[in-house]
Every structure is written in C-alpha cells, then in structure tokens.
Amino acid sequence: MTNNSPLQLINHPIFKFHRLTISIKRDDLIHPIISGNKWRKLKYNLIHAKNNHKSSVLSFGGAYSNHIHALAFACHQQSLASIGIIRGEPHYANNFTLSWAKYWGMKLIFVDRETYKKRHQQDYLQQLQNQFSQSFIVPEGGSNKLALLGMSEVIDELNQQTKFDSLLCPIGSAGTLAGLIQGDSNQHNLIGIAVLKQGADNKSYLRDEVIKLLPNNTKDYQNWHIENNMHRGGYAKFSASDLERIFAFSKATNIPFEPIYSGKMLLALLDLIEQGYFPAGHKIVMLHTGGLQGLGGLAERKLINTKQWGVPPQAPSS
C-alpha cells in the first residue's frame, strides 16, 4: 500500500475574502480502512516487528480508538496477530470500533483506568512483554520514533505537490506533529491543533511529548507551535454549533470531516482566519488525518445525526 495521497485545493468564499490559498492533504484517502496518520505511524512499526521476528503487535487505546481500529486491520493484512489493551469495561467489545477489531482477529484485554494509567511505565510494559514475549509493543496512538519516519514522508510528498507557507494538523498523542517537524527541517510554519485539554496550565503536556519524540537536537527545530485553546471543551467534546459548522463546510466542499480530530483542525483554521492570524497571500495546507471510522461510534452513542454524516458500515456479526 502506497502512502501517497492527493492534495486538494479548497475553494470557499471565506478563503477568497481573506485572500488565502487553502489546500488539504487528503490522507483520509490513503486506504478505506487504515487511513490518515494511523497508517503512516504504523508503517515502520509493523516493518520493525516483522524484521525482528515478532508474531504479534500489542498496543493501547480507548473503546473507540482510531489507532486500535487501524492496528487490528493492518496486522490482519500483514499476517500479524494483534492485542489491544483497552481502557474500559468488557461490554465495550461489541461497540462499533471494537467489533471491527475483533472481526480482524484482535485479542481485547480490558483494564480499569488505574491500570491503563500505567501504559507508559517501564515496569508495567516489562510485565506485558514478559506475558506476551512474541509481541512488539507500540505506544498508545502509535506515537514513537518509528512513527516519525512515516509521518515525515508527508513533507516529502507536499514538497513535490505544492509550495506552501503553513501546515496545520490535529494533535492528540504528539507523533503526527513530531514527525512533520522532523521531516520539515524548518522549511515551513507547522501548527498543531490540540484536541484535548492538558491540565491546569493547558499548554505543557503535548509540547513535552513532541520534544521527547524528536532527536536530542530539538533546539534545531524552531518552526512549530501548538494551539492549545481550540479543543472545543476537551477530548471528544464539541457543541451543536461546532457540528453545524463542520457539516456545513463538508457539504460546501464535499470533503468529509469528523468532529474529534479533523473537524477541530478545520474549526481552528476558520477561527484563526477570522482573527487575522494569517497575512493575505499566505498558502496553507491542512493535513486530513483520517479517523472517519469514529463517526460510527459517535452515531452509536447518538452524538451525531446519522443521515447527515454518512456513517461507515457495521462489522459483520460473527
């Protein structure tokens, strides 16, 4: 499967009024299932697992995780077993996302919130490694240094497709932005849109995570920052007016978005434009990071109107 995704120019009255050129890198079109940043972050992780003779991949996620969904299918496609450490109760196994993961052969292990908090702790990871000795362990969201290799390829593709000034992406676990920073080498202005709250100061966690992932010479990368106050209330939080704005833009441009990642990036761009953040003549690219399977879970919880949003199909019953 190739990484290359098309770049689409967006014609919209708002952009014309502010004399801006806006394009979107359609990583949601890489693959109908393993789309967007999920495939890019998994690509070299799965290569590494197979090169090191691992028979399975183990990772972590919530009950509606895009990463878990993509990992299950990618491992199935690559003839690797998959194991998901899932935050939540066993009854979630039948929800939209995890029923697909099960269908593709993923073993689901449900843990409580306190146990899930240990997912970055070395003693807990070693315990899992001892228990699943033939597994390669990938962090939550797929964000590690191997992920950066896949994400950096976005910059190579964009440099062949267009000239631009700024690149926007949503940021949840830091790997996407870190990979873009590494690949860009200070060529463009990179803006991460935080999709979750980050504690009392609301500004340090994701930045620290990005810096941890980058090589030691992080001071060489001066062309990026994170917008921390455009999360719309927190992870997976959004208002009825947010949904209306995203849906109206999707209908006007025929580009699908979801309200947790790509939709928050879109709303952040529109807000920044209205604030006069970008000068006239600026060329901006949005990175569509996929995640459209998440619409299924939102519909299941009756958080979106299924007739409007084009919900993906359910997993076949076993």
Q: What is the pLDDT of residue 2?
A: 56
Name the pTM for this structure.
Answer: 0.93
Domain 7-33+148-309 and domain 36-142, same fold? Reply is yes
What are the residue boundaries of the structural domains of the chain, listed by start? 7-33+148-309, 36-142
Give the 3-state DSSP-derived string for 165-199, with helices as H, strands as E and coil as C: CEEEEEECCCHHHHHHHHHHCCCCEEEEEECCCCC
* pLDDT of the residue at 1: 54
Relative orientation angle of helices 205-213 and 175-184, to the nearest 10 degrees: 50
> Tokens standing for 303?
């958080």
| Regions of the chain with pLDDT less than 50 | none
Confidence (pLDDT) at 239? 92
Q: 57 with 45: CB under 8 angstroms? A: yes
pLDDT of residue 3: 64
Degrees, nearest 5: CA angle 302-315-100: 90
Look at the domain 7-33+148-309 and name its fold: Rossmann fold (3.40.50)
Q: What is the model's pLDDT at position 35? A: 82
3-state DSSP assignment of residue 303: coil
Tokens read off for 73: 């299918």
pLDDT attached to residue 274: 95
pLDDT of residue 65: 95
What pLDDT is recorded for position 16?
96
CA gap 129, 143 in Å, rounded? 18
CATH number of this structure's domain 36-142: 3.40.50.1100
On whether the CB atoms of residues 56 and 136 are closer than 8 A, the answer is: yes
What's the pLDDT at 241?
Answer: 95
Can you give the pLDDT at residue 318? 58
The dihedral of CA 30, 150, 126, 198: what is its sign?
negative
Distance of alpha carbon 190 from alpha carbon 32, whole angstroms: 27
Q: Tell me how far CA of residue 290 lies from CA of 48, 67, 169, 313, in angstroms.
A: 23, 11, 11, 16
